[in-house]
Every structure is written in C-alpha cells, then in structure tokens.
C-alpha cells in the first residue's frame, strides 16, 4: 500500500511539472544541432572560394624577383667568366597571363556548380534521414507514454474492483482463493506500470540524444500530427536528382578533356634591372616581353582512354539508377499494402474493444450478487488489456509506416 501511494504521488508530480513538447520542437533541435549539415554548408562556402580562385588564376599574375650572384676567379681558378660574367645583378617585375576561352571557363565553373548541387542534394537527403530517425523515435516515445497512461488507467480500474471484491470475500460471497487470483493480476499490472515508466524514460533519453538535447527533465509529448505528404515529380526528388547531377558531371568532364587538347596561349613581360656590371651598368635598365603557344599533337591516344573511362562511369550510373528505381517502386507498393492492412486492423480492434468493455461492465454488475466467477472477470480484464495494448501498437505502427513513406516524399 505504501508503494502504491508513492507511485500515485510521483505520477501526480510528473503530470503537474512536465512541459509540453511537440514533434516540430525535436525536429528543429535535431536539424540545428547536426554537425553534418553544418559541414555540408561549409563545403559549399569552400567551393565558392575555389570558384574565385579560378577567376583569379586567369588574371595577370605579377611577380617581383631578384637574382644576384658573384663568381670570383682567384689566381686563375674559378668559373669561366664567359659563362658567369663574373657577377650578375637582376631585379625585375614580371607579368604573366594565361588566355582561356569563355567556354573553357564556363566548364570549370560548371564543375564547381555541379559539385555544389551534389552537396546540397546530400544535405537535403541527410535532413530527410535525420527527420525520419527523430520522428520514428518520437513516435516510439509517444507510444510509451500512451502505454503508461493506459496501464495507470487499468490499474486504477482494477484497484476499484479490488475494494469491492475484498468486501465480498469477507462476506463469504467469494472464496479466498478467488480473491487471491484477482490480487495476483493487480500486482502484475502494477509491475507492468513500473516497467513501462522505465521504458518511457529510456526512450525519451534516446530522443534527446538524437536531437543533441542535454536535458533529463520529464516532458509531455503532444500527439504527432503525421499524415501522408504529396509525392514530388520524379525528376524533382532528391533521391533521383543525384543521378541526374552525376550524369551532367560526366558530360562536363568530357568537355574539360576536350579543352586539354586545344591550343594554349600565354603572354609574359618583365621590366627592371639586369646587369653583369661589366660595361656601363647604369644603362642596363630595360624590359622584355613575349608569348608561349602550346599545341598538342600526339599523346598515345590518352584522350580516347579518358573517354572510355567516362563511358564506363556512365554505365555504372545507369545501372545504379535502374536498380534504385525498381527498389523504390517495390518499397512504395509494400508500404502502401502495410498501411492498408494496419488501418483495417485498427478498425476491427476498435469494435472489439467496445465489446470487451461491455463484457467487463456486465461482470462488474454481477459481482455484488456473486453471479459471476472472479476467474471470468480476470479473463475479461486481461482480454481487454491485451486488445487495448495491441490497438496502441497498431496505431504506433501506422504512424511509423507513414513516416517511412514520407521519407521518400522530397
């Protein structure tokens, strides 16, 4: 009896102090805390820097340099002065510029753009995965809470019957053994309450862990608002978009290979002081300019080899896309079938609960006259508890199935 009073006090405090949290609160917390999503954003920012570096690389490159040397000849020993000039002083400012066509630059920028699109797509898929995981755990915790509430409600129901049966047993309406049978059921229900409360606490801690929430306080979860969402067009789905990005990337790589085999032109110029100090060194200020032209002629058919590698990569991409499409379609069919079957079971069990409740009420009315066996009442109560528990589990399963379907709806 002392334990029962303590349990009731704890439940009262829990109900009074627990704060209300909904599913969106945990989704927002999980997305905000995820380091992987922040990593993706930093990668996109880093690629923007790479794009700026490409632009900077094709601007004139200005370099200041100075090379100074002295090669002494001592008693006829030393470097040939015809080669070294004995000494050399050089201080110039040089400018170098590589010329690239507009399409070449566009292809390089397209590579970075496609890379960013792939990262952004991975970010969205990660968000979907995180939402699915958090939602699934939220549903589990909410199911635990429903189970706890139901077990507490059932325990109070049995407790009321206990007072009635105790008096009837004392008045010799029922045998002592019959009452003890009922008392065992009551104690089992109390143990089930404690186990359910522990499970709720553990699953809630897991939910906080997934969302990066450091909190051990009890909360009251609001019923999740989960319904089927509209499917996007296949080409807009993040799960299929990655294959399209990969295809565009392979096409762009082929263009970049072609640009490697086009003529390359660069120009250079420098101005400054360059002297061996041999004759009129004060006149050795000047400048220099020119250009470099590179035309590929033969490299052992390496371009064809690169083309072949891209063809193989495209075949691999196509195979993965075909397999994923079949898996996707099959999975959607399976989820839809599971959802229909689960909803039918929920409807059937809802009717069954009504009959079970009516049976318990009928048995309860007959208790006072001793016209019903306690064993029959215990069986009716156990059947009711079993059906209620199964109904709760099927409702949770329905939400979980919808959560799985909605995962693919982006």
3-class secondary structure per residue, the chain: CHHHHHHHHHHHHHHHHCEEECHHHHHHHHHHHCHHHHHHHHHHHHHHHHHHHHHHHCCCEEEEEEEEEECCCECCECCCHHHHCCEEEEEEEEEEEEECCHHHHHHHHHHHHHHHHHHHHHHHHHHHHHHHHHHHHHHHHHHHHHHHHHHHHHHHHHHHHHHHHHHHHHCCCCCHHHHHHHHHHHHHHHHHHHHHHHHHHHHHHHHHHHHCCCCCCCEEECCCCCCCCCCCCHHHCHHHHHHHHHHHHHHHHHHHHHHHCCCEEEEEEEEEEEECCCCCHHHCEEEEEEEEEECCCCCCCHHHHHHHHHHHHHHHHHHHHHHHHHHHHHHHHHHHHHHHHHHHHHHHHHHHHHHHHHHHHHHHHHHCCCCCCHHHHHHHHHHHHHHHHHHHHHHHHHHHHHHHHHHCCC
**Of 295, 311, 340, which closes a domain?**
295
- Its sign, for the CA torsion 370, 376, 382, 383, is negative
- Residues 150 and 68: beta-carbon distance below 8 Å: no
Q: Judge if 210 and 287 occupy the same domain.
A: no
- Residues 342 and 398: beta-carbon distance below 8 Å: yes
Which tokens sit at 299?
Answer: 């490299």
Residue 118: the pLDDT is: 95
pLDDT, tens digit, for every residue of 366-407?
Answer: 766 677 777 777 788 788 888 888 888 999 999 999 999 999
Q: Judge if 116 and 142 occupy the same domain.
A: yes
Provide the CA 107 distance to its chain's centre, in angstroms: 31
Q: Judge if 119 and 65 occupy the same domain.
A: no
- Residues 285 and 272: beta-carbon distance below 8 Å: yes
Non-local (6+) Cβ contacts of 186 within 8 A are: 155, 158, 159, 162
* Statement: residue 113 has pLDDT above 90: yes
Q: Judge if 285 and 329 occupy the same domain.
A: no
Q: Judge if 118 and 164 occupy the same domain.
A: yes
Q: Judge if 135 and 69 occupy the same domain.
A: no
Instruction: Determine which of 1-5, 42-46, 271-275, 404-408 has the lowest per-residue pLDDT on average.
Output: 1-5
CA dist., res. 377 & res. 361, Å (int): 10
What does the buried/exposed string (b/e) look like for 54-65 if buried means 16 or more CB atoms within 10 Å of the residue's CB?
eeeeeeeeeeee
CA dist., res. 249 & res. 244, Å (int): 9
Q: How far is CA 225 from CA 96, 125, 229, 342, 403, in A?
A: 64, 22, 12, 18, 11
Q: Which residues on adjacent β-strands are paired with residue 219?
A: 19
pLDDT confidence band for 18 (50 / 70 / 90): low
| Overall number of domains in the chain | 2
Residue 132: the pLDDT is: 95
Residue 123: the pLDDT is: 95
Residue 4: the pLDDT is: 43
pLDDT, tens digit, for every residue of 182-222?
Answer: 788 888 888 988 999 999 999 999 999 999 999 888 888 89
Its domain, for residue 114, covers 2-58+101-261+302-407
**Of 237, 272, 295, which closes a domain?**
295
* Statement: residue 35 has pLDDT above 80: yes
- Residues 200 and 220: beta-carbon distance below 8 Å: no
Q: Judge if 275 and 362 occupy the same domain.
A: no
Residue 170: the pLDDT is: 78
Mean pLDDT of the chain: 87
* Statement: residue 40 has pLDDT above 90: yes
Residue 245: the pLDDT is: 95
Q: Judge if 183 and 290 occupy the same domain.
A: no
**Of 295, 313, 342, which closes a domain?**
295
Q: Judge if 255 and 381 occupy the same domain.
A: yes
Residue 364: the pLDDT is: 76
Who has greater pLDDT, 52 or 165? 52
Instruction: Determine which of 131-145, 217-231, 286-300, 328-342 has the lowest per-residue pLDDT on average.
Output: 217-231
Q: Judge if 367 and 383 occupy the same domain.
A: yes
Q: How far is CA 153 from CA 8, 119, 150, 264, 388, in A?
A: 12, 50, 5, 83, 11
Tell me the mean pLDDT in the region 217-242: 85
Residue 1: the pLDDT is: 41
Percent of the chain with pLDDT over 90: 51
> What is the CATH classification number for the domain harbouring 31?
1.20.1600.10
Residue 235: the pLDDT is: 73
> What is the CATH classification number for the domain harbouring 82?
2.20.200
pLDDT, tens digit, for every residue of 44-81?
Answer: 999 999 999 999 998 999 999 998 888 888 887 877 77
Residue 14: the pLDDT is: 44
Q: Judge if 32 and 52 occupy the same domain.
A: yes
Which tokens sit at 379?
Answer: 């069986």
Q: Judge if 139 and 272 occupy the same domain.
A: no
Provide the CA 384 distance to its chain's centre, in angstroms: 40
């Amino acid at each position: 009896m002392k334990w029962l009073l303590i349990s009731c006090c704890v439940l009262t405090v829990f109900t009074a102090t627990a704060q209300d949290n909904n599913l969106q609160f945990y989704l927002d917390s999980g997305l905000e805390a995820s380091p992987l999503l922040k990593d993706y954003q930093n990668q996109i920012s880093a690629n923007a820097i790479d794009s700026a570096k490409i632009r900077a690389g094709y601007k004139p490159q200005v370099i200041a340099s100075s090379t100074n040397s002295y090669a002494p000849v001592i008693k006829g020993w030393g470097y040939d002065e015809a080669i070294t000039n004995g000494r050399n002083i050089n201080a110039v400012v040089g400018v170098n510029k590589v010329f690239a066509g507009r399409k070449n630059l566009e292809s390089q920028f397209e590579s970075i753009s496609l890379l960013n699109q792939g990262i952004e797509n991975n970010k969205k898929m990660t968000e979907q995965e995180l939402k699915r995981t958090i939602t699934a755990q939220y549903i589990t915790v909410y199911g635990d809470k429903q189970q706890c509430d139901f077990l507490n409600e059932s325990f109070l129901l049995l407790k009321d019957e206990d007072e009635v049966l105790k008096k009837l047993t004392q008045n010799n309406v029922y045998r002592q053994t019959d009452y003890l049978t009922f008392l065992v059921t009551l104690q089992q229900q109390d143990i089930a309450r404690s186990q359910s409360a522990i499970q709720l606490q553990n699953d809630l801690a897991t939910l906080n862990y997934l969302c990066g929430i450091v909190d051990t306080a009890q909360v009251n979860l609001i019923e999740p608002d989960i319904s089927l969402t509209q499917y996007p067009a296949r080409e807009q789905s993040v799960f299929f978009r990655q294959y399209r990005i990969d295809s565009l990337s392979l096409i762009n790589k082929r263009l970049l290979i072609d640009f490697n085999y086009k003529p390359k032109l660069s120009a250079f110029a420098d101005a400054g002081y360059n002297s061996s100090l041999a004759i009129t060194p004060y006149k050795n200020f000047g400048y220099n300019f020119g250009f470099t032209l590179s035309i590929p002629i033969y490299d052992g058919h390496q371009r064809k080899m690169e083309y072949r590698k891209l063809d193989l990569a495209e075949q691999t991409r196509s195979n993965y896309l075909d397999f994923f499409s079949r898996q996707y379609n099959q999975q959607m069919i399976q989820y839809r079938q599971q959802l229909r079957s689960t909803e039918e079971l929920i409807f059937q069990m809802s009717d069954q609960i009504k009959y079970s409740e009516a049976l318990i009420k009928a048995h309860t009315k007959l208790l006072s006259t001793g016209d019903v066996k306690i064993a029959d009442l215990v069986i009716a109560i156990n059947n009711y508890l079993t059906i209620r528990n199964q109904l709760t589990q099927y409702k949770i399963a329905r939400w979980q199935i919808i959560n799985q379907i909605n995962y693919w709806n982006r």
